[in-house]
Amino acid sequence: MFTGIIEACGKIAATELRGGDLRLRVQSADLPMHEVKLGDSIATNGVCLTVVELLADGYWADVSRETLAHSSFAQASVGQAVNLERAMLASSRFDGHIVSGHIDGVGRIVSCEKDARSVRLRVEAPAELARYIATKGSICVDGVSLTVNRIEDQVFDLNIVPHTAAQTIIQHYRPGAAVNLEVDVVARYLERLLQAQNSEAGGARAQGVSMATLAENGFLTARK
């Protein structure tokens, strides 16, 4: 598990095709590799990857066909900048939100604009993910824990404060760039729970979470 608080930035130093999937070499001068062990998990642009070979300045990791199908690593290139976060320890402070490192899909940067000292990002999500994104809810973009300002159809807005922009690859974003998206895990499990409850009750399978289904299952309190 991860928190979405980036520890370091790095870059893809090499790629190797391996029988239909991919092996990546990630290089970073800032990640404390002396604390990393073989088999450790490192979120690389939000993707949970297992270290299969340790290097003094980075690591090798395998990327499965499943991950390639659902992440931006399908277009991975040498020199590409990446956000890095080691797996959370049970004793760590929880500064972001619950991040699994299992990417739900690839979004696209619609626009990047200055907003006072911050950067305002607009990101388009795939249609099948938009229903899980809520105003003031959490979303993970390339491994960064962020708060959604607003959402309209499939496009959501994010405010990036100067510190976050400087410490992540967000500073390099341009319109059209592909980004890995992981929606809030609570929303996914909630929808699955409600689908199962409706099925057990003999009803048709739920087609997503609505305000009505939330109220019926006790997740909303009536206003007085």
With a cut of 90, say whether residue 124 has pLDDT above it. Answer: yes
Q: 72 with 159: CB under 8 angstroms? A: no
The length of the chain in residues reads 224
Residue 100 covered by a domain: no
Residue 95 covered by a domain: no
Averaged confidence pLDDT in the chain: 89
Residue 35 covered by a domain: yes
With a cut of 70, say whether residue 131 has pLDDT above it. Answer: yes
Residue 112 covered by a domain: yes
Tell which of 43, 58, 86 closes a domain: 86
Q: Say if residue 31 is in the same domain as residue 50.
A: yes
Quote the number of domains for the chain. Answer: 3
pLDDT digits (tens, 9 = 90+) for 141-200: 999 999 999 999 999 999 999 999 999 999 999 999 999 999 988 877 787 787 777 777
Residue 91 covered by a domain: no
Cα 32 to Cα 35, 54, 62: the distances in Å are 6, 12, 20
Q: What pLDDT does residue 213 have?
A: 61
Residue 51 maps to which CATH number? Answer: 2.40.30.20
Q: Say if residue 19 is in the same domain as residue 61.
A: yes
Q: What pLDDT does residue 80 have?
A: 97
- As a whole number of angstroms, the distance between CA 78 and CA 69 comes to 19
Q: Where would I find the beta strands (DSSP E) of 29-167? A: 41-44, 47-55, 58-63, 81-86, 105-115, 118-124, 138-141, 144-152, 155-160
- As a whole number of angstroms, the distance between CA 116 and CA 133 comes to 25
pLDDT digits (tens, 9 = 90+) for 48-77: 999 999 999 999 999 999 999 999 999 999
pLDDT digits (tens, 9 = 90+) for 209-222: 565 666 666 555 54
Residue 134 covered by a domain: yes
Q: Calculate what percentage of the chain has a pLDDT beyond 70.
A: 89
- The boundaries of the domain holding residue 19 are 8-86
DSSP code of 207? -
Q: Say if residue 143 is in the same domain as residue 170.
A: yes
Residue 2 covered by a domain: no
Q: Say if residue 142 is in the same domain as residue 195.
A: no
Q: Say if residue 180 is in the same domain as residue 204.
A: no
